Amino acid sequence: MPKRILEGVVVSDKGEKTVVVKVERTLLHPVLKKIVRLSKKYHAHDEANALKVGDIARIVECAPKSKLKRWEVLSNASAS
């Protein structure tokens, strides 16, 4: 099974080798038939501590690295 890749904005870089990435998605509400924006935060492993708050990050699934980290930053992620 392929690993999922998500893209989002870094909202926190306070942890050592850790960033928090906010990923937004849209869906059609089943009753109201309006577009609803949902977001979720993921803790991701950033080995180089390269990303800062506001950067665009691409993260990929990985084996658990700690209690919360199940994602890691792709090395070819572009910073804004």
Within 10 Å of residue 29's Cβ, how many Cβ atoms? 9
Question: What single letter denotes the amino acid at residue 28?
Answer: L
Could you give all domains of the chain from N- to C-terminal order, each with its CATH number? 3-72 (2.40.50.140)
Confidence grade of residue 78 (pLDDT, cut at 50, 70, 90): low
Q: CA dist 66 to 33, 56, 63, 70, 80, Å?
A: 39, 23, 9, 7, 28
Is 0.85 surpassed by the pTM of this model? yes
Residue type, 62: C
pLDDT digits (tens, 9 = 90+) for 11-43: 999 999 999 999 999 999 999 999 999 999 999
* pLDDT value at residue 44: 97
Distance between CA atoms of residues 53 and 27, nearest Å: 26
Cβ pair 9, 22 in contact under 8 A:
yes
